[in-house]
Amino acid sequence: MTERHPTLAQIEQFIQGDLDDIQAIMVSVHLGACSQCSQLAQQCQQRQASHSLMPASDVEAFDDADLDQILAQLDSEEPASAQPDVETRSPTQLEFQGRTVSVPPALSTLVARAGPWSRVVSRLWSATIQGHQLPYQLNFIYMEPGGSIATHAHKGLEWTLVLDGTFSDDRGDFHPGDLIQCDDQVEHAPYSENGCLCLAAIDAPLHFTSGLARALNPFSQLFFKPGG
Ligand SMILES: [Zn+2]
């Protein structure tokens, strides 16, 4: 699976209503920005509609091989046929540090519950989203231009949705709508040349792994306040 899209299984779970609220919000924002995944979602929807009309034994398995084929096919199409489903509702405004950024309306409940912004380390800001009953910590994260997060691994899952600007790590550049999932196999050092606003959900504290940055491990708690 690619590094900036939900998995096919997650798209299917989204269509079935099986994702938790936060994952569903993040996937829906991604679908609004990604024509490939929104087409997959439509196909899942059609399949599920037809599945409900036929015996289970007739249902054709839809696996990652199909997905690769579909993505390859979509990649080869002209951009003109790959316009994202544009959100028609007016966007929600997120204000911080004298900036105002428009974010998709699906995030309005999260914006309303965002706590005060605080500086985590130089050029890195975070606002914890309060009041959700899920096992992970939810933050808006803003990297100022030139900002970075020291090399870290994950003890659990980290979902990051890019909302504005671009960040990069050794896997490439990530743009608005990209949904990046890291698990305990991934170690990375995100940075942003021009500034980047993200929504990040993690289910365990980050673990900083590189040299001096290990001293940052106490700060990892700033990203993760259980029950926050
Ligand atoms: Zn996608």
Q: How many CB atoms lie within 10 A of CB 66?
A: 14
CA distances from 187 to 118, 125, 138, 141, 151 (A): 25, 21, 20, 18, 7
Low-confidence spans in the chain with pLDDT less than 50:
1, 58-59, 77-88, 226-228
Quote the CA–CA distance of 113 and 193 in Å, as a whole number: 28
Between CA 43 and CA 46 the distance in angstroms is: 5
How many whole angstroms separate alpha carbon 125 and alpha carbon 20?
26
**What's the fold here for domain 92-223?**
Jelly Rolls (2.60.120)
Q: How many CA atoms lie within 13 A of 220 on its CB side?
A: 22
Distance from residue 34's CA to the centre of ligand 1 (Å)? 5
> What is the rounded distance in angstroms from the CA atom of residue 182 to the CA atom of residue 188?
9
Q: How confident is the model at residue 140, as a pLDDT?
A: 94
For residue 193, the SS3 value is coil
pLDDT at 67: 58
Q: What pLDDT is recorded for position 226?
A: 47
CA of 121 to the centre of ligand 1 (A): 31
Give pLDDT tens digits for 135-179. Answer: 778 999 999 999 888 787 777 778 899 999 999 988 899 999 999
If residue 15 lies in a helix (H) or strand (E), which one and from where to where? helix 8-16
Residue 11 CA, ligand 1 centroid: distance in Å: 9
Residues 114/129, Cβ–Cβ less than 8 Å: yes
d(CA 54, CA 225): 47
pLDDT value of position 153: 74
What does the mean pLDDT of the chain come to? 79
The residues facing 93 across adjacent strands are 102
List CB-based neighbours of ion ligand 1 within 5 Å.
5, 34, 36-37
Q: At 29, is the secondary structure helix, strand, or coil?
A: helix
pLDDT of residue 120: 83
What is the Å distance from ligand 1's center to 168 Cα? 17
The CA–CA distances, whole Å, from 43 to 4, 9, 84, 149 equal 20, 13, 15, 38
